[in-house]
Structure 1
Amino acid sequence: MEQNPIDIIRSFAEDHLECNLDNLITFDLKKLMKDEVYGCPNRKFDADDTTIMRAIYCVVFGSVWPNLSMDNSGNEKMRGDTMNSSATFFSYPWNDRFTPTWNPPAFLIKKIAEFQTTFHTVGNMTVLPDKRIDEWSINKHRGCHDEWHDYEDRFLYALYKVLTYQDDADEDLEELVMLNRDDFNPFFGVDGWKRFIDGNMLEYYVDDNYLPVIKSKGYTWWRGGYTNKERFFQEANRYIDDSTTIIKSRGKRIVNYIKERLL
C-alpha cells in the first residue's frame, strides 16, 4: 500500500521541524543520512531522493508530472534532482580539491562552506524522469556533459531545445527525453515548455518570454589551462549568490504550497 505523502510530511514536521513547516526552508537534508524513516532506508543515500523529498515532490509537483507518486519514485522512475550543484565548481567538502588547487581567499572558503549546506535544502530540489539507457540517465547526462557540467541554466537551455524541437538540440538528451516521453508528454512545444517552467517553479532561469537565460560560465574546479583567478573567484561569488537567492525563494514557495495542502 502506497505511503500517504501528506502523512509523511506531517510526521516529519513533528520529528524534525518542531511542528513549524517554515523550518523546512533551511533544513539540511544531509542530516537524514542515517535516518531510517525519512532518509534513504535500504538504498544509497542521496539528499534529493530521500523519503521526505519523495513525499514533497508528490505533494508539490504531483499535478505537474502525470505519473508521479510515492510508488513511482526513485531510480528508473521519477527521480529527485539537485538543481544547483557544489561539486562541479568547488569539489566535495569531504574531499576538498578546490582549496589546494585555487587557494581562494578566506571569505570565499567560508562562503563555499555555507553554500554546501544551502544546496542541500528543499528549494534546490526538483524531479525528473529517470528511465535509463544502460546506466545513463538524464541526471547523469546533465552532470557529465562537457558544456553543461551540472549547471541548471545550461541544462535547461539544452532541454528547451529538445522540448521545442530545435534543429541543434543535443541528440543524446533528445534520445533520453524520448525514452521518458510518457512523463514529458505535457511539456512539448512552446506552451508545453511554459507549463514545465511554471509547474516546476523554474521561472528564475528564463526571461519574460520563457527563453532560457545562461548566467553561469560553466567553470569547474579542475579547469585546465590559463584562467584569471580574479575572474574565476568573481564567478564563484556570483554563482553562490545567485543560486542561494533562487534556493531560498523557491524553498519558501514550496513550503507555502505545502502549507496550503496541509490545512
Structure 2
Amino acid sequence: MRYRLAAFDIDGTLVGPSGTLSPATIEAVEGLAAMGVSVAAATARPYELALPTLAPLTGAVTAVIAAAGADIRRATGEPIAQVTLPPQAAGALAKLCDAHNWRAVAGTAEGACRRMPTPEARGPAATVASLTEVDLSRTYVIAPFTSPADPAFAALEALVRDSRLRGERALTSSGREIVAVTHADAGKGPALRRLYEALGVEPSETAAFGDTEVDLPMIELAGLGVAMGDAPPEVQAAANLVTGTAEEDGVATAIARIWGDG
C-alpha cells in the first residue's frame, strides 16, 4: 500500500539529542512530499516552538500537531482544530509553577512564552517571570519542567486529576523531563483523528512514527506503526516496523523501506 500520510513525532524521532534534523532525514522527508505524501509533525511543544526545528522542511510539512495534540495547524499556520485549557485550571497551573519555581513553557492564542527558559531554549517565545502575567484565556498547553522525582510532583498530579485535565510526560530533545498539561480531549491520537478528517485520509492510509509511550496512540491508530530503535519495549511491540534511532537516521531508513523509490 502507498501510504498517503506520514505522521512523525519530533523529539527522539525526527531529531535526536542535537535537536536538529540530519541531512538524510531532510532528504527523505522532502522525498515523501515530492511523491505527494502529506507530512505531519507531532510534538508537545507549542506551535511556535516547533517551527525552528521544522524550518529545513519548509514546503514539505503539511500540518503540525502541536501542544501535545491541543493545537493542530496547517503549515501556513491556519488552525485545523484546537482545544484549550479551562481558564481557571490554566491559572491554577501558572500559580503552581510559581509556588515550586518550575521552569515552564506555555502555548496560548497570543503565542508561546517561557518561565525561566533553559539555556538550550530555541524559538520565538516571550520570557516572563510568572505565567500569571500572560493572558491564559485561550491556552493550549502549559508544560512545567518536572518529574516524579520532584517532591512537589504530587501537587501537579492532583491538579491534573481534580481538574480533569490531561498530563503527558515527555522528554525534550536535550533529555529534560516535562509534563505537558492540556484539555482532556487533546493527545496525539485524538489529534491524528482530527487531521484525518481535515485531510480526507483514512487510518489505513497512514504511517506513524514515534519513540515513546506518548506516541503509542498514533502508532496504534495508523495503518502502519513505526517505532524507533531506542523506543521502550511496549512501543516496539505495538509497531509493525522497528527502525534505527534518530541518531542513526532511522526515519530515513524506514521511509526508504516503506516507500521505496516512489
Tell me the TM-score normalised to structure 2 length: 0.27
- Structure with bigger strand share is 2
Q: TM-score, normalised by structure 1?
A: 0.27
Determine which structure has more spread, i.e. the larger CA radius of gyration.
1
